[in-house]
Amino acid sequence: MARYLLLKHYRGAPTPEGFVPMDGWTPEEFDDHVQYMRDFAEKLRETGEFVGEQALAPEGRWVRFDGEGRPPVTDGPFAETKDLIAGYMVIDVDSEERAYELAAELSAAPGKDGRPIHEWLEVRPCLEATLPADA
Amino acid sequence: MGAAIDEASLRDLIPQVIAVLRRRGADFAAAEDAVQEALVKALEVWPADPPQDPRAWLVTVAWRRFLDAARSASARRARELRVGASEAPAEVSGHDDTLELYLRCAHPSLTPSSAVALTLRAVGGLTTRQIAEAYLVPEATMAQRISRAKRTVSEVSLDRRGALGTVLRVLYLVFNAGYSGDVDLSQEAIRLARRLHVVTGHPEAAGLLALMLLHHARRPARTRSDGTLVPLAEQDRSLWDTPLVAEGVAVLQAALARDRLGEYQAQAAIAALHCDARSTADTDWVQVVGWYDELVALTDSPVHRLNRAVAVGEADGGPAGLAALEPLDPRLPRYDAVAAYLHELAGDTDRAADLYAAAADRAASIPERDHLTRQSARLRSVT
């Protein structure tokens, strides 16, 4: 009944304890990690809670309007940008508790030595587009 | 849809057709699946080729689908098909069938979102796609949600008296989901509440129907054409749907006369007092507070206490409203918005402006957020 966005960050989230970057994993550990994410999305499809997901390339450009008749100005990418979104998943669940439960499950994806990575995920409620009928 | 039947009448037939298949021995989940397939087929072929007897058409097609599914399932399991013979058709009225369906689809073992989806499909006669569009989720997600819900309730036993409250809650959830996609869920909820009212004759079913009608009557005035919110005090009351108000009040009065007050009747009574007034200044706020007292006594709900504080503010002034707000938990949804309004009533515009801004950050919907942001800006631009 309520939609939530689960945000994965490349950068900007607190670093979990015992963090090992992906390039320190074996190929098998990496495959297991990816499979866990796939299984997770598949499970949500089966429970009827999946809305959508999208992975994002780490490098993007900043773009802005530069006046009438002028081409847009582009800048970046900025290597120093603190916050960098890696991708998102949108879920439709019955409660905030359920959203947290699922985020925690996603955060338990295996990494180095098959141990949960304890990655911090950002959970954001989606705003409804319309008012409730009794407002 | 062709000349033979409109889509709303088609939807009304769905629970009846499910009941026919059930009486012929199909279990709930299989019957519902088969009828949904027949419904999708009907929407496809009827516009070009409307049937003489829509109900008979649906029964024939659904029954054939059911038999096909049962045969292939039984072939898979190499088990004997026992359809119809073992379960003699019970002598039950159509009303009992319909109520049974409402109760099953709103069974307490379901989560609210599953109960809503199953109710819309089996009782409401909507297609999976329509429900998915209305709730902004992919069709496959909605199909899974419904099929899990059916597995959950296919064999449950039903408590006819105790569970009416869950049916009412589910219909009210549908009503409040509002409008997206090509189905107006508020109108859908009203249609289902009307039928439930006829089937049960329960005063709270009447209360819920009255409440929906009275809220719905104000809908044309509640938002501008661009979707922005118009607060009650500023609504153009000539836009309210007077026949709908009259119907809501009549349904409510008949229910109240039976002297079995419940939360929906009390809420409808409050809505009726608003509909009865020419302006917020003209509203009988003392009586509104009285009904909120009844409501809080019935439900002990903090959300109702919060709304009561607004009514107290209107009846006895901002400070009295703030005193009523005092004991409530500031984490309640809309607490900041109510506090802002009461501070404004009490003349503390600086504090009100800050609270409106805080309330905007906590709003659950875009129209509400924008409205609260504008309220904050309005107060700051005059101070």
DSSP string, B257-296: TTT---HHHHHHHHHHHHHT-SSTTTS-HHHHHHHHHHHH
Whether residue A55 is predicted with pLDDT greater than 50 in this model: the reply is: yes
Q: Which of B125, B122, B120 is CA-nearest to residue B43? A: B125
Strands A2-11 and A84-93: antiparallel
CB-closest option in A93, A94, A130 to B365: A130
Q: Do A129 and B366 touch (CB under 8 A)?
A: yes
Chain B: give the shortest CA distance to residue A128, in Å: 4
Average the pLDDT over A55-72 and give the result.
92
For chain B, the domain total comes to: 1
Other beta carbons less than 10 A from residue B123's beta carbon: 26
3 state SS of B212: helix
Q: Which residues of chain A are within 8 Å of residue B211 when distances are taken between CB atoms?
A: 134
* Domain span at B43: 7-86
At residue B17, the pLDDT reads 96
Largest CA distance in chain A: 56
Whether residue B25 is predicted with pLDDT greater than 60 in this model: the reply is: yes
Whether residue A121 is predicted with pLDDT greater than 70 in this model: the reply is: yes
Whether residue B165 is predicted with pLDDT greater than 60 in this model: the reply is: yes
CA distance B120 to B22: 18
Cα atoms in the Cβ-side hemisphere of radius 13 Å centred on B218: 28
In a domain, residue B218? The reply is: no
CB-closest option in B148, B178, B216 to A48: B148
pLDDT tier, B142 (very low <50, low <70, confident <90, very high otherwise): very high
Is residue B175 within 8 A of residue A133, CB to CB? The reply is yes
Average the pLDDT over B112-132 and give the result.
96
pTM: 0.89
Locus of tokens 């397939």: B37
- Residue type (1 letter), B146: I
At residue A16, the pLDDT reads 86
At residue B20, the pLDDT reads 95
Other beta carbons less than 10 A from residue B143's beta carbon: 19
pLDDT tier, A77 (very low <50, low <70, confident <90, very high otherwise): confident
3 state SS of B214: helix
- Fold entry, domain A2-125: Alpha-Beta Plaits (3.30.70)
Q: Which residues of chain A are within 8 Å of residue B146 when distances are taken between CB atoms?
A: 48
Among residues of chain B, what percentage have pLDDT more than 70? 92
Q: Does A129 touch chain B (CB under 8 A)?
A: yes
Rounded to whole angstroms, what are the CA distances from B56 to B11, B37, B59?
14, 15, 5
Radius of gyration for the alpha carbons in chain B, expressed in angstroms and rounded: 24
Residue predicted with more confidence, A59 or B196: B196
Q: Which of B213, B216, B196 is CA-nearest to residue B204? A: B196
Angle at A71 between CA A68 and CA A73, to 5 degrees: 110
At residue A6, the pLDDT reads 97
Residue B173: beta bridge partners?
Answer: none
In a domain, residue B60? The reply is: yes
Q: Does A51 touch chain B (CB under 8 A)?
A: yes
In a domain, residue B78? The reply is: yes
In a domain, residue B82? The reply is: yes
Is residue B125 within 8 A of residue B11, CB to CB? The reply is yes
At residue B93, the pLDDT reads 57
Q: Which residues of chain A are within 8 Å of residue B227 when distances are taken between CB atoms?
A: 130
At residue B4, the pLDDT reads 52
In a domain, residue B161? The reply is: no
- Residue type (1 letter), B149: A
At residue B189, the pLDDT reads 96
Average the pLDDT over B366-381 and give the result.
94
CA distance B97 to B101: 6
Closest alpha carbon within chain B to A42: B141
Which range, A55-64, A78-87, B60-69, is most confident?
B60-69
CA distance B117 to B126: 9
CA distance B65 to B37: 8
Whether residue B88 is predicted with pLDDT greater than 50 in this model: the reply is: no
Is residue B196 within 8 A of residue B102, CB to CB? The reply is yes
3 state SS of A84: strand
At residue B346, the pLDDT reads 97
In a domain, residue B26? The reply is: yes
Q: Which residues of chain B are within 8 Å of residue A129 when distances are taken between CB atoms?
A: 180, 365-366
Other beta carbons less than 10 A from residue A79's beta carbon: 7
Q: Do A133 and B219 touch (CB under 8 A)?
A: yes
At residue A14, the pLDDT reads 86
Chain B: give the shortest CA distance to residue A91, in Å: 9
B82, two tokens: 């026992």
With a CB cutoff of 8 Å and minimum separation 6, the contacts of B43 are: B1, B7, B10, B127
Residues in chain B: 383
Q: Do B178 and A52 touch (CB under 8 A)?
A: no
Q: Which of B352, B339, B108, B106 is CA-nearest to residue B117? A: B106
Whether residue B2 is predicted with pLDDT greater than 80 in this model: the reply is: no
pLDDT tens digits along B175-189: 998 666 678 999 999
pLDDT tens digits along B253-285: 999 999 999 999 999 999 999 999 999 999 999
Residues 55-94 of A with CB under 8 A from B: 92-94
Among residues of chain B, what percentage have pLDDT more than 90? 81
B166, two tokens: 């869950």
Q: Look over chain A and give the mean of its residue pLDDT values, rounded to a whole number.
A: 91
Is residue A49 within 8 A of residue A75, CB to CB? The reply is no
A90, two tokens: 């949108």
Q: Look over chain B and give the mean of its residue pLDDT values, rounded to a whole number.
A: 91
pLDDT tier, A59 (very low <50, low <70, confident <90, very high otherwise): confident
At residue B87, the pLDDT reads 43
Count of CB pairs separated by less than 8 Å, A with B: 88
With a CB cutoff of 8 Å and minimum separation 6, the contacts of B277 are: B283, B284
At residue A129, the pLDDT reads 86
Q: Do A130 and B178 touch (CB under 8 A)?
A: yes
pLDDT tier, B62 (very low <50, low <70, confident <90, very high otherwise): very high
Is residue B293 within 8 A of residue B322, CB to CB? The reply is no
At residue B1, the pLDDT reads 44
**For chain B, which residues lie within 8 Å of any Cβ of chain A, measuring from their own Cβ?**
111-114, 116-117, 135-138, 140-146, 148, 173, 175-180, 186, 211-212, 215-216, 219, 222-223, 227, 229, 363-369
At residue B86, the pLDDT reads 43
Sequence spans of domains, chain A: 2-125
Average the pLDDT over B315-330 and give the result.
98
At residue B161, the pLDDT reads 58
